[in-house]
Amino acid sequence: MDQQNLTYQDLKACRNSSTLIPMLKDMDTPSTLYHVRDNINEFSTSETNVIVSPLDIPIFTEEFLDHNKARESELRQLRKVNTDYEEQNAILSKHIENMKAAIEKLEVESVQRKATNKSLDEHLTKLRSLIVAQFSNFPIPGTTETVNPDNVEHYLQNLADKVTKDVKVNKECDVIVDKVRKIVTQMDAT
């Protein structure tokens, strides 16, 4: 076979065989390759009008096209999933921003409440010391219990119970109530 003049039949015979590649490799010069390429482009079959190529490129095979369609479908699906995740991330980011704002608001409220609690604790301590100072010489009638810093709440509860329970029975309770009012009035003045 003359390597300079490959014919259509030669190319068709070599198309599906492994002899074409070695033939092309054995050719002398690059100009011979151009000559073969030009001859290939000139030939077409009368039945299909398809240009015959000795280099049947596998990327145009049916299997590759099916594979490519499957990959494109997979890519579309992945893009859709990616878009869904991006939307979810946007929603979650907004939720995170809202949560951060709520946390900051709660932290400010917490600081304010701590300041209020501290103020109330100071006021309670001051009130306890006033009660201890004013009621220290006033025992609960019928007992020897007097007030001290450790029993202020207990003392006041017992005093209130004594006054409310015995008020109907005893006139002495009126005297106790008058003394308590006088002491509380003095406390208000201070």
3-state per-residue secondary structure call for 72-126: HHHHHHHHHHHHHHHHHHHHHHHHHHHHHHHHHHHHHHHHHHHHHHHHHHHHHHH
**Residue 46: domain span:** 8-56
Same domain assignment for residues 52 and 28? yes
Domain limit, last residue, from 95, 122, 149: 122
Q: What's the pLDDT score for residue 105?
A: 97
Q: Does residue 3 belong to any structural domain of this protein?
A: no
Domain limit, last residue, from 92, 122, 152:
122
Query: What is the tens place of the pLDDT at every residue in 177-188?
Result: 787 888 888 776
| Same domain (yes/no): 61, 115 | yes
- Kindly report whether the global pTM for this prediction surpasses the value 0.85: no
Which of 122, 156, 176 lies at the terminal end of a domain, its last residue? 122
pLDDT tens sequence across 64-117: 888 889 999 999 999 999 999 999 999 999 999 999 999 999 999 999 999 999
> Is the domain of 66 the same as that of 44?
no
Domain assignment of residue 72, yes or no = yes
Range of 37-46, 64-73, 74-83, 134-143 with top mean pLDDT = 74-83
Q: Do both 118 and 165 map to the same domain?
A: no
Residue 129 lies in a domain: no
Measured CA to CA, the distance from residue 51 to residue 40 in angstroms comes to 8
pLDDT tens for 11-36 read 445 454 444 455 544 444 444 444 44
For residue 51, what is the DSSP state? Answer: B
- Residue 52 is assigned to a structural domain of this protein: yes
